[in-house]
Amino acid sequence: MSQTLLITGGAGFIGSHTCLVLLEAGYRLVVLDNFANSSVEALRRVAELAGLGPDDPRLQVVAGDVRSAEDLDRAFRQAPTPIEAVVHFAGLKAVGESVAEPLIYWDVNVVGSQRLLAAMRAHGCRTVVFSSSATLYGLPEQVPIPETAPVQPINPYGHTKAAVEQLLRDVATSEPGWRVACLRYFNPVGAHPSGRIGEDPNGIPNNLFPFLTQVAVGRRNQLQVFGDDWPTPDGTGVRDYIHVMDLAEGHQAALETLLGAEPQQLTLNLGSGTGHSVLDVIEAFAQACGRPIPYSVVARRPGDAARTVADPSLATTRLGWRTRRSLTEICRDGWAWQSANPSGYTR
């Protein structure tokens, strides 16, 4: 029988795309999500895309909180076969909000991870893939950024990611048998090419890509470009945008690597290794949607780096994975999602 995985935060943007890839790869999934930033509709569509009927036991949903020992226990007990591994997406991710509400961020992201690890031990599961972030490199001194670059986050969100990575290393070192992968994502964007699932942020988006797609679909008037005086070729910020389906496949590769190997700890960048400026993204998206994107240049955003680009070579070596999709495909698929779902899942 196929292996069962627990996916925390599986209804969210990255989680939903990863659930689809894992179902298509033959895993059975239990998703634990409190729907704080997602909709059950996302999972309904994941099931539909994977060809599962309603109530198919291959995708079970537990509405619960990752901080609750009871909810975690329920998720482990509900699994059709013992849970072999956990993919831990559940968490809060808005940098500005983390500055205003650090206690909530430490509670959900760090206490939530600690409770999850305790539940895993109690149920004899010691394989975990964790959603870390390139944000923990802060303002990088070296670009492309290797995993050996200093961890120096500059906001509470980044501090919580660094703390959970450390917690995982401490736990894995404390007893034999743990297989841990911390995946440091660069900038996840785009959507499944069907346009059925995608990113659906609550309120006004903080990030470039969802803001841009909402301007394109007419939900917002214009994009603000945060500075054109950066030390980059066109003066706008450069990032490593990674198609969410490439990212989802990176999780599958990490799971397969861990489940087939001796206990180990992996810390890997997941990015493309290629940087694109804000103006590159605006231009590529305008091409994809066939209409111009109105924008104006405003002051730099505090805390921004000029350029962050991954050195993804270690992930290629360790996982046999690399990104396959271009910025053009990112924009095509992002537009397929946003144009078909102008108000997202309308939760």
**157 is known as an active-site residue:** yes
Nearest approach in angstroms of CB 141 to ligand NAD is 20
Phi, psi angle pair for 118, to nearest 5°: -65, -40
Site string for ligand UDP, 138-177 (x = CB under 6 A): ----------------------------------------
Which amino acid does the sequence have at 141? Answer: E
Phi, psi angle pair for 4, to nearest 5°: -105, 135
Chain positions 288 to 347 lying near ligand UDP, rule: CB under 6 A, are: 301, 304
- CB contact set of 319 (below 8 Å; sequence gap of 6+): 250, 253, 254, 257, 268
Instruction: Output 4 or 187, the one with its CB closest to ligand UDP.
Output: 187
243 to 24, 198, 252, 283: CA distances (angstroms): 18, 11, 15, 17
Residue nearest to ligand NAD (CB): 12
Residue 333: helix, strand or coil by DSSP? helix
- Length of the chain equals 347
Nearest approach in angstroms of CB 154 to ligand UDP is 11
Instruction: Output 241 or 285, the one with its CB closest to ligand NAD.
Output: 241
Which residue in 157, 185, 295, 345 is the catalytic one? Answer: 157
Identify which range of 90-98, 275-283, 296-304, 309-317 contacts ligand NAD by CB under 6 A.
90-98
Side-chain-facing half-sphere of 244: CA atoms under 13 Å? 26
- CB contact set of 120 (below 8 Å; sequence gap of 6+): 86, 126, 128
Q: Is 185 in the site for ligand UDP (CB under 6 A)?
A: no
Please select the residue that binds ligand NAD; options are 91, 158, 198, 344, rule is CB under 6 A.
91
- CB contact set of 99 (below 8 Å; sequence gap of 6+): 155, 156
Please select the residue that binds ligand UDP; options are 155, 194, 224, 339, rule is CB under 6 A.
224
DSSP assignment of 113-140? HHHHHHHHHHTT--EEEEEEEGGGG-S-
Site string for ligand NAD, 43-82 (x = CB under 6 A): ----------------------xxx---------------
189 to 52, 82, 209, 319: CA distances (angstroms): 26, 33, 7, 21
- Which option in ligand UDP, ligand NAD, none does residue 301 bind, with CB closer than 5 to 8 A by kind? ligand UDP
Phi, psi angle pair for 243, to nearest 5°: -60, 135
Q: Is 106 in the site for ligand UDP (CB under 6 A)?
A: no
- Which option in ligand UDP, ligand NAD, none does residue 239 bind, with CB closer than 5 to 8 A by kind? ligand UDP
Q: Is 252 in the site for ligand NAD (CB under 6 A)?
A: no
Q: Is 278 in the site for ligand UDP (CB under 6 A)?
A: yes
Q: Is 239 in the site for ligand UDP (CB under 6 A)?
A: yes
Find, among 347, 93, 98, the residue nearest to 200 by Cα. Answer: 347
**CA–CA gap between residue 296 and residue 59 (Å, rounded):** 44
Instruction: Output 15 or 227, the one with its CB closest to ligand NAD.
Output: 15
Q: Is 282 in the site for ligand UDP (CB under 6 A)?
A: no
Instruction: Output 114 or 155, the one with its CB closest to ligand UDP.
Output: 155
- Which residues here bind ligand NAD, judged by CB under 6 A? 8-9, 11-15, 33-38, 65-67, 89-93, 108, 112, 131, 133, 185, 188
Residues known to be catalytic:
157
